[in-house]
Every structure is written in structure tokens, then in C-alpha cells.
């Protein structure tokens, strides 16, 4: 199944998916989600596949445990995945630990034709050959094949039980070593607060957390390798700029709470046209009268307001986005293309890479034109987030310029 005979190199598929909705309504959503996911696998036929999930288990992990087990079993044993004879699954199921729980789930699948692949043991500081299918859960902190951290509470103090953090694994395919980092950054707690300043206070919090992760994965403890960071970054459009653009000719009405005088609602009306309401903004309401603006030409007119990654322009690279905002879609199984009116649609789910990883990806692009960066299930309800994927090939000899790295490939 994997890799066309004529195409050289190792086909790689990286997928990020916030799957919280799947466990809140498993009967209606999981079947569609898996069908669309398997279709992408079938289309791109990867030799190596990584699926990074956030909010794994949904809002109430304890109540969702049976659904979690069923979902994992389906992924590992379905006909669509039968040619992937090796797998590693890392599920953070330690939901009783406020100090450690991240609700992250990382899945790695290896095709039967893939020969030279090793995974790094962070404790022993050596690579190990990957055999069989193994699932690790509960306390991942003691697993030597990954690094996992939850962000400190003081990063986002207004959220008492945040589950944001990251999991890092390291792999070596045909002399090419790279880190894969599953990440979930902080959300916007209030549309009103996000609108107050440009950039928003929440943007600053995400900046701090992502900077922490990047510093952590390139520190002095281990050899430096290429890295891919993919997950739910919760990046949002610059709210103040977006509202000003969408409501250029509008007048604003401020609604305050009677008891506290706190702003609870902003109403933007057209200056003429019977003062038609264009936008209503509340803490968890972003109700714009014309959703088409977020879908027309895949929302690309709004990309100029997607600014959060610019702070890291020398450290993180992303391919051009040509798909619509990945969040917040309706969770109604009958509405696959409709956005909810809770937040301004944004590209929250992303696949980012280091400068050397970019060279790896673009080398395959220049030689074979086989790079795809897109979303999954455009017309199907996949929950409130659409998964996003990157497909490319690691070309023969790609790891040779960094060959010194692989003297640590003493495998067991």
C-alpha cells in the first residue's frame, strides 16, 4: 500500500487533531472522523505516520474511558491500517493529577515496508529499534521514550485546571533524525478581553509558552536535530484588527452589567441600512452576520490578521496555508461546513517546523512535487476542530549533512 514504486524516499504523514468533540458525542462523530482520516492515509500512503491528538478523551476523561479504549483499538486494528505492523501510542490518562494531566495523545504508525527506523530513548540517550505495537498510558512521566511537560499554572492563572502542555518524541529514519512535538497552547478565555489590545493578552501567554517549548527542545541535554511542532496552538486572528476591518462603517454600542458596570457585550451596527446589526461580541459570543467571509477563497483575505507566528519567524517555518480556518466548527453532525458563533474563526491547528526540517520538506517538494499541507473532512462534521495534515517524503541521503548526529544511533 505505502509509497508508489517510482517515488523515492520515505513517505511521511503528520496529522494534528483536537478530538475533544469526538468523546462528547462518539456515536455521531467518531465514525465520520475515522472515515475521513483513513481516506487521507489511503491517498498519501505514508510509510511513517504521526497523529497528534489534543483534548483526548474530551471534557470528562473519566466518563469517556470506554470510548477512548474503543477509539484506540479501532485505530490499531482496522482494515485501513492493517499494513502498519508497528505502532507506538502514548496517552496521557492521568486525569486525577492536576499537576501533570495534559489530555494529549500521540500515535505513531510504521508501515511493514519501512526497515530502518529507530526511536530515541531520552534516558539512555540512544536509539532503539521499533518492533510490535505498544500502548503507554497513565503516568507518561516515567516513560524514557518521550519527554512530557505541562505548562506551569502561573502561565495562565485565570484557568484553574488548564490541561495545556507538550509531549516530545524523537525518531531516526534512514539516517535522518527529527523530533515530533505534540503541543496544546492556551485558548482565549474571553472575546471581549481579546478585543481590548493588539496583540491580545492571550497572544502574549501563548508566545511565552511556545518559546518555553522551543528553548526546551534545543537545550544542551541532547544532540540538536530537526523538529516538527504540531498541535492546537490556539493561534487567533488579531481580534481588534479583524473587528475594525469587518465593521469599518459600523457604530459600536457598549452594554454594561447593571451591578458591576463591567462591559458584557459590544454591538456593531451599520451606520445606515436601518442600523442592521453586523457583529455581536460577548465573552463567548462572536456573532458576525456573514460567515461567508471566513470561507470565501478559504478565508485567505483574513490571513493578514494571523500574526502570532511572526514572533518566531527565525525559529519556526510553516508552508503556505490554503485551507479555511480550522476552528470553531459546529459540532452538529449535519453541519460540516458551518462555524459556531462562539469565537472568531481562526487557524488554531498547525504544523510548524524548524529551519532544517523545512529544508527536509522542501527538498522533496523540489524533486517530486509531493508536499501537501491541508485540512481533513472539509464537508464533514469532524467536531469543533478540523484536523490538519502535512504529507511529504524524506529523500534518500537527506540526513547525511547531519550525519554526526547519528553516531548516537547505538541501537538495541
List of domains in the chain: 8-235+291-392 (3.60.10.10)
Partners of residue 373 on adjacent β-strands: 390
Q: Which helix (H) or strand (E) holds 87?
A: strand 86-91
* b (16+ CB within 10 A) / e for 149-186: ebbeeebbeeeeebbbbbbbbbbbbbbbbbbbbbbbbb
Report the alpha-carbon distance of residue 147 to residue 130 in Å, rounded. 18
With beta carbons less than 8 A apart as the criterion, state whether 69 and 93 touch. Answer: no
Q: Where are the beta strands (DSSP E) in 122-262?
A: 126-129, 133-136, 147-150, 165-173, 176-184, 226-232, 250-256
Length of the chain in terms of residues written: 412
pLDDT confidence of residue 367? 64
Residues 6+ apart with CB under 8 A from 366: none
> pLDDT at position 4, please?
44
For residue 6, the model assigns a pLDDT of 52
Residue with cell 472515515: 35
The pLDDT tens digits of the residues spanning 364-381 come to 766 666 899 999 999 999
Distance CA 35, CA 30 (A): 8
| Rounded-to-integer distance, Cα 63 and Cα 54, Å | 17
Element containing residue 33 per DSSP (H, E): helix 26-44
Burial class (CB in 10 A: 0-12, 13-18, 19+), 221: exposed
Mean pLDDT of the chain: 92
In angstroms, the CA 205 to CA 253 distance is 29
pLDDT attached to residue 116: 86
Instruction: Check residue 403 and give its pLDDT.
Output: 44
Q: What is the distance between the alpha carbons of residues 103 and 50, in angstroms, rounded to a whole number?
A: 17
Residues of the chain with pLDDT under 50: 3-5, 402-412
| Inter-residue contact 376 to 388 (CB < 8 Å) | yes
Percent of the chain whose predicted confidence (pLDDT) is above 90: 80
Whether the predicted model's global pTM rises above the 0.75 cut: yes
The interaxial angle of helices 61-77 and 26-44, nearest 10 deg, is 30
Q: What pLDDT is recorded for position 410?
A: 47
Cell numbers representing residue 379 in the block: 464537508
> What pLDDT is stored for residue 411 in this prediction?
47
Taking CB atoms within 8 Å and a gap of at least 24, the contacts of 153-158 are 155/186, 155/205, 155/208, 155/209, 156/186, 156/205, 158/189
Give me the pLDDT at residue 405, please: 45
Amino acid at each position: 500500500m505505502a509509497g508508489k514504486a517510482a517515488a523515492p524516499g520515505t513517505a511521511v504523514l503528520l496529522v494534528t487533531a483536537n478530538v475533544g468533540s469526538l468523546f462528547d458525542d462518539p456515536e455521531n462523530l467518531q465514525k465520520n472522523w475515522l472515515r475521513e482520516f483513513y481516506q487521507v492515509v489511503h491517498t498519501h500512503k505514508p510509510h511513517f505516520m504521526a497523529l497528534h491528538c489534543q483534548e483526548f478523551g474530551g471534557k470528562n476523561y473519566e466518563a469517556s474511558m470506554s470510548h477512548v479504549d474503543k477509539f484506540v483499538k479501532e485505530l490499531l486494528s482496522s482494515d485501513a491500517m492493517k499494513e502498519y505492523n508497528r505502532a507506538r501510542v502514548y496517552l496521557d490518562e492521568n486525569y486525577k493529577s492536576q499537576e501533570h494531566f495534559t489530555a494529549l495523545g500521540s500515535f505513531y504508525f510504521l508501515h511493514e515496508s519501512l526497515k530502518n527506523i529507530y526511536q530515541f530513548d531520552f534516558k539512555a540517550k540512544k536509539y532503539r529499534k521499533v518492533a510490535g505495537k505498544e500502548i503507554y498510558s497513565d503516568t507518561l512521566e516515567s516513560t524514557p521514550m518521550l519527554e512530557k511537560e505541562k505548562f506551569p499554572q502561573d502561565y495562565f492563572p485565570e484557568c484553574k485546571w488548564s490541561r495545556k502542555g507538550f509531549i516530545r518524541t524523537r525518531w531516526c529514519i534512514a539516517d535522518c533524525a527529527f523530533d515530533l512535538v505534540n503541543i496544546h497552547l492556551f485558548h482565549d478565555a474571553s472575546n471581549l478581553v481579546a478585543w481590548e489590545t493588539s496583540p491580545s493578552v492571550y497572544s502574549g501567554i501563548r508566545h511565552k509558552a511556545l518559546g518555553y517549548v522551543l528553548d526546551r527542545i534545543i537545550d544542551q541535554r541532547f544532540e540538536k536535530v530537526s523538529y516538527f511542532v504540531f498541535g492546537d496552538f490556539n493561534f487567533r486572528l488579531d481580534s481588534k484588527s479583524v473587528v475594525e476591518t469587518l465593521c469599518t462603517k459600523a457604530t459600536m454600542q457598549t452594554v454594561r452589567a447593571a451591578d458591576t458596570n463591567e462591559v458584557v457585550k459590544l454591538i456593531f451596527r451599520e451606520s445606515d441600512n436601518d442600523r442592521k446589526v453586523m457583529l455581536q461580541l460577548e465573552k463567548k459570543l462572536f456573532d458576525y452576520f456573514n460567515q461567508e467571509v471566513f470561507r470565501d477563497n478559504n478565508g485567505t483575505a483574513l490571513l493578514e490578521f494571523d500574526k502570532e507566528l511572526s514572533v518566531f519567524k527565525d525559529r519556526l517555518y510553516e508552508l503556505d496555508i490554503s485551507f479555511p480556518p480550522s476552528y470553531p466548527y459546529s459540532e452538529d453532525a449535519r453541519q460540516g461546513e458551518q462555524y459556531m458563533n462562539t469565537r472568531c474563526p481562526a487557524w488554531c491547528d498547525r504544523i510548524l517546523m524548524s529551519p532544517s526540517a523545512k529544508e527536509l520538506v522542501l527538498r522533496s517538494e523540489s524533486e517530486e512535487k509531493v508536499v501537501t499541507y491541508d485540512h481533513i473532512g472539509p464537508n464533514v462534521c469532524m467536531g469543533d476542530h478540523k484536523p490538519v495534515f502535512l504529507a511529504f517524503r524524506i529523500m534518500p541521503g537527506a540526513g547525511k549533512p547531519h550525519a554526526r548526529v547519528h553516531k548516537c544511533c547505538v541501537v538495541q
